[in-house]
Structure 1
Amino acid sequence: MGSQSSEPSRTKLLLAFATIYLLWGSTYLAIRLAIDTIPPFLMAGCRFLLAGAILYAIGVRNGLPRPPRRHWRNAAIGSVLLFVVGNGGVTWAEQAVPSGVAALVIATLPAWLLLFDWGYGGRKGPKFREAAGIGLGLVGVATLSAPGGINPVGAAVLLVAAVGWAIGSLFTRYSDKPASPVRNSGMQMLTGGAIMVVVGLALGEGERINLAAVSWQSVAACFYLMLAAVVALPAYNWLLTVTSPALVGTYAFVNPVVAVLLGWAVVGEALSGRTGVAAALVILGVALLVWPKKPVAKRAEVDSAISLTPADKVVCRVVHS
């Protein structure tokens, strides 16, 4: 999906939003199934090596120039934060934490992004609504990890993973990198995948894996995760070019709903009252952080004030129709 000079079709927009809503939301369950019989870091490392190779090959086929050494260095740094700490932490934690609950903890990511961007990215201090959103999200996580809730070590690892992803995202945003998001993502996945395989071997996962015992469900989930990385990333990047970041950011509180429902329906993960309360707090908190600041009733006023592009207006009609 590339940048379009004319208004994108409603069908294309709906498909792109469905991709980041449903595909990314389903990856938590896929991780849970993949690590049933494949050790976490080896599984994730192989997934990203395959996805990175595909994305990098797409860049080569499109005639993109060979990246210089500094781009590879920055890709490696970003990959450690995004994939080794971020995704690797989620994958490891799902050995002890239900997939839907893991998605709820990771849904606090917008809060960490804002906090670190205030400190290092030059943003102004938080407004009341943003501070309230961060507070609600963290209270939701505390509700999940209180005594009698989820595994506290797993909860701590998930929080570290969210922080790592936030720092990695900001580093990637401000660092010197290829102009092509596809090429940059491929480089990060290649380096991150290689590092994750090394980490897995260092943790003894090579001795734990039994190829004869690897189930077809785990293999299928691993390939699904690889395809999700290849398909969802271009959809996400395309949406960022044709509509407002606030609308794209709504995936952050749709994904955990999808993950919780799939975990319950497919593998029978419990839907306790505690999980429901925590889900409501986290999703409300994230909604306060990423939802558009201006009400829809004032659309004409907003369009004039911030010069919405025609594509932004199309998305507003799609979302509110």
Structure 2
Amino acid sequence: MTPAALSTRARLTPAVLVSLALVYVVWGSTYFGIKVAIESLPPLGMLGLRFLVAGAVLFAFLRLRGAAMPTLRQWSASAAVGLLLLGGGTGLVTLAERDASSSVAALVIAVSPLFAALFGRLWGERTSGREWLGIGVGLLGIALLNVGELHATPLAALLLILAPLCWTFGSQWSRRLPLPAGLMGSAAEMLAGGVILMGLSLTTGEHWKAPTSASLWALAYLTVFGSLVAYSAYMYLVAHTRPALATSYAYVNPVVAVLLGVGFGGEHLSALGWGALGVILTGVVLVAWPRKERGAGA
């Protein structure tokens, strides 16, 4: 990577800040939204429908505005990313939430920045000492938040550990793949991921029944805000920021998820839990703080 590219990735531009705000807040709420949606909708089928609709809407909008049709090579790359991020990442989280609270799902996913830093090093990207410190502080906050309050079954915990492995590896790999440019990349990934998830739903024999209005509203929210808005913002961050910053949402998402769980899901948070949230936010600041640029003129 060139010095100019590294310099660009170090800046907190307005577009980066807006994208961070979207993935911080919106994706924090999607854990609760998923829990509501799968109360009467099959997990994989719900996700497949979510991404197919979101991908189709975005794809049609972009084509009407003159965006180029992805090539066969780009569709193949989009399918690989869609399988890892949407099938392995979001899909495993959704399956886990059958036996885990929305809060604990967000807590376990908070290991994403650590995995992102490790995978980034496979491709020669450096993680600074302050970023490692921020990752460690964030994980400490997650551990404090989980002490004695939130639990999951062993299977759900395993799925929640595998999910960020798939998500972060797919995120880092996507930066080296020939994906369609701009938002067309997000559209192609959601379409491909949606097809894969619907196929998995059919092959596993998921049963569809009449959904509740709450599940339908949750599905609509996940489709518009979780997919169309936040997923596109995340892919922008993956392409324009450092791995640790792009995945720092994983520390803020538990804050949002826990607040929603306390406010709407009847969960209780002790004084230790509230203190842990402050530790988590400290970790985010350490990870997100811009690096000092080196070289001439620095």
Q: Scaled by the length of structure 2, what TM-score is found?
A: 0.80
Q: Deviations over 1:267-305 (max 9, x none)?
A: 1123256755665555544443333345xxxxxx99x95
State the shift of 1:236 in Å. 5.0
- Correspondent of 1:59 among 57, 62, 65: 62
Q: What is the match of residue 164 of structure 1?
A: 166
Q: What is the match of residue 313 of structure 1?
A: none
Q: What is the match of residue 90 of structure 2?
A: 87
Distance 2:169 2:248 in 1: 20
Number of matched residues?
283
- Correspondent of 2:229 among 204, 228, 231: 231
Which residue identity does 2:209 align to in structure 1?
Answer: N
Structure 1 residues 76, 235: CA separation in 2 closer, same or farther (over 3 Å shift)? closer
Distance 2:99 2:194 in 1: 23
Which residue identity does 2:222 align to in structure 1?
Answer: L
- 1:135-284 counterparts in 2 under 5 A? 135-138=136-139, 144=146, 149-180=151-182, 182-206=183-207, 209-211=208-210, 214-228=211-225, 229-235=227-233, 251-272=249-270, 275-276=273-274, 279=277, 282-284=280-282
Contact 1:108/1:286 (<8 A) preserved = no
Which residue identity does 2:264 align to in structure 1?
Answer: V
- Correspondent of 1:28 among 28, 31, 35: 31
- 1:5-84 counterparts in 2 under 5 A? 18-84=21-87
**Bigger radius of gyration:** 1
Range with greater deviation from structure 2 (261-270 or 143-152): 143-152
State the shift of 1:60 in Å. 1.0
Which residue identity does 2:212 align to in structure 1?
Answer: S
Q: CA RMSD in A?
A: 3.4
Contact 1:145/1:152 (<8 A) preserved = no
Contact 1:104/1:279 (<8 A) preserved = no
State the shift of 1:235 in Å. 4.6
Secondary structure, counterpart of 1:178 in structure 2: coil
Range with greater deviation from structure 2 (130-139 or 144-153): 144-153
State the shift of 1:89 in Å. 1.1
Structure 1 residues 147, 32: CA separation in 2 closer, same or farther (over 3 Å shift)? closer
Distance 1:156 1:67 in 2: 36
Q: Deviations over 1:168-225 (max 9, x none)?
A: 1011111111122x1111111111111111212222213xx322xx210001100110
Contact 1:252/1:286 (<8 A) preserved = no
Distance 2:204 2:238 in 1: 38
Q: Scaled by the length of structure 1, what TM-score is found?
A: 0.75
Q: What is the match of residue 319 of structure 1?
A: none
Secondary structure, counterpart of 1:29 in structure 2: helix
Distance 1:88 1:240 in 2: 20
Contact 1:178/1:184 (<8 A) preserved = yes
Q: What is the match of residue 8 of structure 2?
A: none
Percent of residue pairs identical: 40
Gaps of 5+ in 1: 1-8, 295-300, 307-321
Distance 2:63 2:264 in 1: 39
- Correspondent of 1:122 among 116, 121, 124: 124
Secondary structure, counterpart of 2:175 in structure 1: helix
State the shift of 1:140 in Å. 5.3
Gaps of 5+ in 2: 1-12
Contact 2:244/2:287 (<8 A) preserved = no
Q: Deviations over 1:49-69 (max 9, x none)?
A: 101111111221121222221
Q: What is the match of residue 292 of structure 1?
A: 290
